[in-house]
Structure 1
Amino acid sequence: MDKVQFEQVFGYSNDQAIVSYSSRGEISFAQFKRELAFIERKLKKSLNETGFKRAAIFCEDSYEFSLLFFAAMSCCEVVVIPANNKRFTQQKLGEQTLLLGSWEDSSAFSINIPDQCREELSVPSCFDAGIQLFTSGSSGEPQTVDKTLYQLLNEVKAHNLKWSPRVANTTTLATVSHQHIYGLLFKLLWPLASGRRFVSKTYVDIVGLLQDAHKWGPAVWVASPAQLSRRISSWPWALGKSLVDIFSSGGPLLEVDAKAIDQLCGIQPIEVYGSTETGGIAWRNQLRQKSWSPLKGVNIAKNSDGLLKVSSPWLPKEFICQDKVQISTDGMFELKGRADRIVKIEEKRISLTQVESLLVGSSYIVKANALVLERKRKIVAAVATLTESGKELLQKKGKASLVRKLRETLAKDLDGVAVPRSWRFVDEIPANLQGKITRDLLMQLFDEIPAAMVPQIISSEILDNARQVNFTVNDDLPCLDGHFEGSPVVPGVVQLDWAMHFGRPLVKAGSTFTQMEVIKFKQLMMPGDAVTLSLEFSQEKNKLNYSFRNTQDGNLEYSSGRLCFSHV
């Protein structure tokens, strides 16, 4: 394992330099070093007592995370950075892992720094633990990815080489978490290595971010495409003049979103392309260039299948991506879709990427995601946001007319089994806190629920046209991840999904969902709540009424509404 010296990680010129704006106020480099030394000594004692060599960190505060991270990097063999601290995640980590930070387990190692940590101890001289990260799980179960601090810092050097004149003396603010590689690099390691300031919290409120950017500017915003697409024009974007750059990663940023951000605050977002496995590969400002430019030190090529091959100083060996590319003579490249999104239905190979591209190419769709559902047989489904033309058609002639128009468009280029048979038109395609659109989130919009999405059932009873389901909201439900960091709740779309899922046995066979009526969300449904779902189906109207109430207090209603189905 490559040893990294303390001086290679931190670029602060003096002890008075500000490292972070945290919940405890301004943190100087001198204070950071004292607190790091204190945490390292305390952590070594815990490791000696348990005999563990491996630690897992989950901490929402980036400054506190940095203390735990570098203390663990100096005295552990492996440091694991999971995406969340759910019970299922903890179980997968195994018993021989010391938990650091915010976990439900009472034995977890916590910060607990004295208010005035003045004790002078020696900081760690070097860091040589392995780092284990996780992929996003956008196409399946998240996989572990092994890294070293040496590799991560090599990538940081490449970003600094490209952007240092622009970001010098800035404060970094982020709406993405350091628990993922993009946030870890851009929110934490890069500011530390270049001697810049970072705000320790992860912003959910963009208004607050703009206000703090003005307060602590010049500033850099580390964002995701999903977050930039959720802008509201009435926010105080004039304060965004304090921003010098906005970085975006985790997926493609729509051109319309890039243009809107430029118009609102005068900043053209810089997109960074890469993955957990590869780290950063390339960048672009699509308002100036559509193609991607490789980062300094990155070598790219195309294999015989048209897939991107990457080698770089932060990769142990050449990596073949699942992205198809077209490389130009100047070394820049364009992405041509994902090869690993090929599915087989009725012996035919179908590219979900192609389905999405054709939908976006129509005059009705802005953005689309295709997936496969397992019903009596496999079918392709689509989730899409609509253009103004699409919204007008949906409003005037209904969903059936819109779907027919889209199917006619797709039929010119696709086999019949590749044309989506189930559709959801939404104002916004759901994404998690990191801006990732995962399969589980998409499936919540359909009648089917992955097994992991079903709450912990206590009892269920069906009588004639009614059903009552009692359940507990277990805290390891994937839908809780990313919804209000630090205060997980069951999203409204999931409650609708549960009503549909448990109400299906009451609905007439062959009926298809058409619309929702009188939907009301009254109270937050949270982990640990005991809930009673009451369902009643009207045979005459073909409508399903539902209500979620607290089992102990029947007067406390979480939500209610009516789901309407076509007559058969």
Structure 2
Amino acid sequence: MRSFVPLVHTDPAARVAVGEAGPRSAGELMRDASLVAERLPPARPGSEVLVVCGDRYHLAVTALGAWLRGHAVALPPNAQPAAVRELAGRADVVALIHDSDLADAQDVRDWLSGHAPGDMVDPTWPEALPADRRLAVVYTSGSTGDHQPCAKTAGQLLGEAQALAATFALAAGEVALATVPPYHLYGLLFGVLAPLAAGAAFARETPLHAETVARAAREVGATVLISTPAHLRGLTVLQRGDLPPLRRVFSSGAPLPRATADELLAQLGLAVTEVYGSSETGGIGWRRHEQVLGDMSPEPAWTPLPGVAVEVAAEGRLLLRSPFLAPDAPPPYPCEDRVELDARGGFHLRGRLDGVVKVAGKRVAVAEVEQRLLALPAVADAAVVAIETPGARGHELMAAVVARDSGRDASELVAELRRGLLPWFDPVVVPRRIKVVPALPREPNGKLTKRRLHALLGLTAEEPADAGRGGSTEPTATRRDEPRTGGNGAARDSADAGTIGFELRGHVRGDAGDAAVHEVEVGVPVDLAFFRGHFDGAPVLPGVAQLTALVVPQVAALRPELGRLRQAARLKFTRPIAPGDALVLRLEVRGTSVRFSLARAGEVVTAGALEYEARGD
């Protein structure tokens, strides 16, 4: 039986991790992994160590330590506390390791403190791992809506890492920088394991916005960038020279829009290598965008990864033969994607067959979001639909909700529902529009047709372009009621949709003296409806949209104890906000007063003060 080793470094001084948190060598990595192994409980059949580390070095140390001890590592679908706690309660999980502020868990940084710089051991792995040994369990959303465990053996996980390193010629001396978390399979494979398999190094941090990505890439001397379409789209605000020379740029997690690939190549000289696969299948294929083709040119075909064979069933379903599939997977393995073979041995993707979609690169089952809504006390009935959107986002979710209390204020209810979903999902996955309705138009048997749900949500139904070729005949949803700009129209839409169109990427709460402080990372989509007509050729975000569609809804969502907005004062719009901008919304709350600011790259572009009534006044 074939066996694998997790890393190939033989020089203890060889660099494996770099970044603001400090460089680490292969010898230090093995030393720290041994320390983690010593502190973990003994392994038992099927035991798992749940790892929620944002620092790639900490994740690598914990994973290697768990493997040395005989455990598998479990990787959550996201780092939201409720989702982590649910997985930590599984019988097979013997430890929860983190490097943040999780309660009732072990901070790996405590185990690694107290060692003198330069302390290291022989980085040679003690023994090779058999191909059939289970190393990891990743949790992903299945078509039922529940988190589905997906086990990975050494042959699947380390075998794919070695194949990626060889296919894309990763080499010693290179540095991989990733904008995706290391506990996602894509981030783990490309951002940690493939560099280790190639004798290369990885950056410890995960920058998100264009300026921070460029700065981190320069500081660590990155030669490889691992990213997603949504993050790559943000890089188009950069100029040539802002990034160091990058030999390879990877994109995965969602389809890369042709316009984004063309713009990155023309403006920054970045030829993006797109990778296609899934948690269940591992990597399937890749393609490189090497020339500006324009929207009317045919999409480049996908090339299968080494050892992977693609076949097509009668209905267009992808049938897969791959060394990265589970050992007990049926050959060929049926996937939920539709494909069309290319005459030169490649293939083209033609959509999906199941109810799992990608929202800004996040894989989510519509059924799970619906189930979480139905579990909230304030909800009597709910339905969720995914609609295709232009650009890197791919899809967005919309929800129709029936309140248990028909007298509830719609804005208050929407804010409560968003708070109830945020512990379970990344902010970008929470439905961007939530419509409160008196009842859902269900059939007598209790079913709710997509067509009637689309009509309720103000969507039109169009037949898919490839209907009649064996694909799904369900109608595709398109938006009919774009947000109105300005005045009361925008305010009414914000009550129906929360923060219309903006991408909420993270939230941090703290204190500053007697003020409660909230900081929210906000992405401004390039196709935001508020830019229409304001102004042609040089779009800027209107001040009224900033206030009524972003700031005020976020105050309502984060501070539900506040009453109605009484007045807005001292408003300053000092710099324009453009499509694709990455912002930080800061709220300082003192009693019923809220000071707010929007900053771009550390510079305040908008500021003001809001005064609210106390609840019950």
Is the TM value for this pair above 0.5?
yes
Tell me the TM-score normalised to structure 2 length: 0.61
Query: Aligned partners of 1:379, 1:157: CA distance in 2, in Å?
Result: 47
Alignment correspondent of 1:249: 252
Question: Which runs of structure 2 are paired with 1:74-153 in the superposition (5 Å)?
Answer: 74-95=68-89, 96=91, 97=93, 98-102=95-99, 104-112=102-110, 113=112, 114-116=114-116, 118=119, 124-126=126-128, 128-135=133-140, 140-153=145-158
Count of aligned positions: 446
Percent identity of equivalent pairs: 23
Alignment correspondent of 2:163: 158
Query: Aligned partners of 1:482, 1:213: CA distance in 2, in Å?
Result: 21
User: What whole-Å deviation, never above 9, does each CA across 1:448-473 have from its counterpart, x for those lacking one?
Assistant: 79xxx9xxxxxxxxxxxxxxxxxxxx
Change (3 A) 1:89 1:314: same
Say what the alpha-carbon RMSD is for the aligned residues: 4.8
User: What whole-Å deviation, never above 9, does each CA across 1:165-185 have from its counterpart, x for those lacking one?
Assistant: x65531101111111111100
Asked whether the equivalents of residues 529 and 550 of structure 1 are also in contact (C-alpha less than 8 Å), the reply is: no
Change (3 A) 1:134 1:445: farther
Alignment correspondent of 2:343: 329
Equivalent residue letter for 1:302: V
Change (3 A) 1:313 1:408: closer
Equivalent residue letter for 2:311: A
Asked whether the equivalents of residues 218 and 243 of structure 1 are also in contact (C-alpha less than 8 Å), the reply is: yes
Change (3 A) 1:32 1:290: same
1:79 CA drift (Å): 1.7
Correspondence 1:61 to 2:61: no
Correspondence 1:554 to 2:592: yes
Alignment correspondent of 1:483: 506
Report the secondary structure of 1:380's partner residue.
helix
Equivalent residue letter for 1:116: A
Correspondence 1:207 to 2:208: no
Query: Aligned partners of 2:46, 2:355: CA distance in 1, in Å?
Result: 40
Change (3 A) 1:322 1:409: closer
Alignment correspondent of 2:526: none
Alignment correspondent of 1:71: 65
User: What whole-Å deviation, never above 9, does each CA across 1:454-498 have from its counterpart, x for those lacking one?
Assistant: xxxxxxxxxxxxxxxxxxxxxxxxx999416899956779xxxxx
Equivalent residue letter for 1:447: D
Q: 1:35 aligns with which of 25, 32, 35?
A: 32
Give the structure with the larger helix fraction.
Answer: 1
Moved more, 144-153 or 245-254: 144-153
Correspondence 1:532 to 2:592: no
Asked whether the equivalents of residues 71 and 124 of structure 1 are also in contact (C-alpha less than 8 Å), the reply is: no
- Is there any run of 5+ residues in structure 2 with no aligned partner, and where? 292-298, 357-365, 367-384, 401-436, 442-451, 468-472, 486-492, 511-517, 524-543, 567-585, 597-607, 612-617
Correspondence 1:380 to 2:454: yes
Q: 2:324 aligns with which of 314, 318, 325?
A: 314
Report the secondary structure of 2:212's partner residue.
helix
1:551 CA drift (Å): 8.5
Question: Which runs of structure 2 are paired with 1:148-547 in the superposition (5 Å)?
Answer: 148-164=153-169, 169-217=173-221, 219-233=223-237, 235-287=238-290, 290-316=300-326, 317=329, 318-341=332-355, 356=388, 369=395, 373-374=399-400, 376-377=440-441, 378-380=452-454, 420=478, 423-424=481-482, 447=496, 482-483=505-506, 518-519=547-548, 531-535=560-564
Report the secondary structure of 1:178's partner residue.
coil
Report the secondary structure of 1:204's partner residue.
coil
Change (3 A) 1:215 1:143: same
Report the secondary structure of 2:267's partner residue.
helix
Alignment correspondent of 1:14: 11
Equivalent residue letter for 1:200: R
Tell me the TM-score normalised to structure 1 length: 0.66
Asked whether the equivalents of residues 74 and 137 of structure 2 are also in contact (C-alpha less than 8 Å), the reply is: yes
Equivalent residue letter for 2:506: H
Query: Aligned partners of 2:396, 2:207: CA distance in 1, in Å?
Result: 30
Query: Aligned partners of 1:258, 1:142: CA distance in 2, in Å?
Result: 32
Change (3 A) 1:329 1:16: same
Change (3 A) 1:228 1:91: same
Equivalent residue letter for 1:554: T
1:218 CA drift (Å): 5.6
Asked whether the equivalents of residues 30 and 120 of structure 2 are also in contact (C-alpha less than 8 Å), the reply is: no
Asked whether the equivalents of residues 370 and 380 of structure 1 are also in contact (C-alpha less than 8 Å), the reply is: no
Asked whether the equivalents of residues 521 and 560 of structure 1 are also in contact (C-alpha less than 8 Å), the reply is: no
Asked whether the equivalents of residues 489 and 526 of structure 1 are also in contact (C-alpha less than 8 Å), the reply is: no
Asked whether the equivalents of residues 169 and 218 of structure 1 are also in contact (C-alpha less than 8 Å), the reply is: no
Equivalent residue letter for 1:534: G
